[in-house]
Amino acid sequence: MNQKQKKMLARILAAAALLVLLALAPVPDGPTGLGLYMIPYLVIGYDILLKAGRGILNRQVFDENFLMAAATVGAIALGDYREGVAVMLFYQTGELFQSCAVNRSRRNISQLMDIRPDYANVEGEHGLERVDPDEVAVGTVIVVQPGEKVPIDGVVTEGRAALNTSALTGESLPREVQPGDDIISGCINLNGVLKIRTTREFGESTVSKILDLVENSSSKKSRSERFISRFARYYTPAVCYSALALAVLPPLALLAMGQAPAWGDWVYRALTFLVISCPCALVISIPLSFFAGIGGASHAGVLVKGSNYLETLAGTRYVVFDKTGTLTRGVFAVTGVHHNRMEQEQLLEYAALAESFSTHPISRSLKEACGKPLDEKRVTEVEEISGSGVTARVDGIPVAVGNGKLMSRLGVEAVPCHQVGTVVHVAVDGVYAGHILISDQVKPTSARAIQELRKAGVRKTVMLTGDAEPVARQVAQELGVDEVHSGLLPADKVDRVEALLARKGAGEKLAFVGDGINDAPVLSRADIGIAMGALGSDAAIEAADVVLMDDDPMKIVTAIRIARKCMRIVYENIVFAIGIKLVCLLLGALGIANMWAAIFADVGVMVLAVLNAIRALIVEKR
């Protein structure tokens, strides 16, 4: 409990003790009894009266503070001192409970916020110096000792260690790193001293992006939240006027018929009606459900940028995948060099040099296969042709490295490859020089993820890739994907997604999952864009609505299940809260429900709805 909650608890206990004493002791009627009951009433309710007064002065009258103040003051005015104090006491108890529940949800997200580093170790004249991570420039070598957080993204230059990535990915299995490995901020070094050359500024690092996503998620409200906000705006004035009508019109009608008006009875019914009508359960539990859902997802390594995306994700019936880096590891290896018209080593060197400025996984595999340091000064006039390959000059000689489309574009006749894999054709000085066969590996969880998506209610899975048809078809068959489209440029992927969007039914949502910079347009076009965040490009993460922190396709299933559970809880709370309210309002208007039933309808329903809402924090491990 924080200090504010402790003070509220003390007020509740003091007011409850005073109310019990007054209930047990003989209290005289009249001003003395009123004065005695006003002590616990003001102890527990003075802040509600102040808020109601400020609302009236600011012309924002109709809120829960006004409803509680009007109902309890009215009950006391009718001589029901005990009920007036009890209603305020139970209302404040419910408010305290709700505050504690929200704090619990916030603490869950605060665990994620613990990844924010306090300092970075930089080697100085007098040994290691602790500096603000914001002050560390790109290219600086920082030192991370055992037990410390990695403050900035970079590459390990020296040392080996195991990293705890649970705050980012939700997985407890440590990740081993060694010189040459990329490392992301937010991990905790479990053992060994690491020297890391930073590749980004702190503001652009993974940890900063994660914190920014989580902190801003509440600004993007779902349709359900917007509905509740509009509902409360009209609902509260409506019930206030209804209560006024209930207090005045029936007595006047009885008076007109020559009967006793029973003003006290009808005013009491109107006050009961006011207490019952308080929309706390809806106004509090619906945003809390989404907040808890986003918190639970964050703890599982799934970052959802807003509750509106959580709502859309729950309706996903089509999932479209990019192939490389999404369903496959994106770790390519050269498995053969065929039809080469020069030495194999020379062909690989030309290809690696031409691709030396690219960050594509295929480029990395060519550099590794070359097996020696590359002098990038030998390379000029580099042009990367999206979806086709790269052209450059190596030692002044034109070199083209890419797929069959690039060869056709350059007027070079390519020799087809009869083995399954990614074929990289090479032309040197305008003449075909051979092709390099590169193979990618399917991620171990991809096939299971496709199966689990079907179990989760996804109607169709689709794979889009720029790879050749034989490679794409083999991967699709291995994974059990329903539909596959190959040889696509980035613009073609958008067209395919447009066609799928036109085919899907009303209320069905389409999710696209990708990781590369060329996936950014289609991530933005889909109903919900999901980026493989841990190794994905910045552009893909910026364009996506959901970011998976460890590139595991099973996290897509986790995200959809969390979203659907959250939406179930939201609908349960809406139906439960409105249903109980309507029944109790009817009973209150008929005089069947008294003030005690009213306080259950308000505080009791709110407590039950909040308890239900925080279930969204619990993520089932599978």
Catalytic residue annotation: 322
Nearest-angstrom CA–CA distance, 373 and 360 = 18
**Token pair of 622, please?**
């599978």
Q: Identify the DSSP state of 192.
A: S
Place of tokens 């690219």: 358
Nearest-angstrom CA–CA distance, 178 and 198 = 15
Nearest-angstrom CA–CA distance, 522 and 125 = 50
C-alpha torsion sign, points 250, 253, 259, 264: positive
**Token pair of 279, please?**
């929309």
C-beta separation of 292 from 614 below 8 A = yes
Query: Angle, nearest 10°, between helix axes 64-77 and 81-113?
Result: 160
Greatest alpha-carbon pair distance for the chain in Å reads 114
**Token pair of 459, please?**
């109607």
Nearest-angstrom CA–CA distance, 325 and 575 = 42
Beta bridge partners, 530, equal 513, 546
- Beta carbons within 8 Å of 110's beta carbon, 6+ residues apart: none
**Token pair of 134, please?**
């914001």
**Token pair of 91, please?**
């209302």
Nearest-angstrom CA–CA distance, 61 and 42 = 21
CA nearest neighbour of 332 among 426, 441, 436: 441
Nearest-angstrom CA–CA distance, 201 and 182 = 15
C-beta separation of 586 from 264 below 8 A = no
Nearest-angstrom CA–CA distance, 138 and 152 = 9
DSSP strand E in 194-265: where? 194-198
Q: Identify the DSSP state of 377.
A: G
Q: What are φ and ψ of residue 318, in 5° steps? A: -125, 130
Q: Which amino acid is at 576?
A: F
Alpha helices in 506-553 (DSSP H): 520-525, 538-543
Pairing type for strands 316-322 and 509-514 reads: parallel
Full DSSP string of 98-122: HHHHHHHHHHHHHHHHTTS-S-EEE
Beta bridge partners, 188, equal 149, 164
Q: What are φ and ψ of residue 165, in 5° steps? A: -110, 15
- Give the three-state DSSP class for 291: helix
Chain centre to alpha carbon of residue 343: 52
Distances (CA, A) of 139 to 126, 198, 209, 582: 21, 5, 20, 64
Segment holding 322, helix H or strand E: strand 316-322
**Token pair of 46, please?**
């003075």
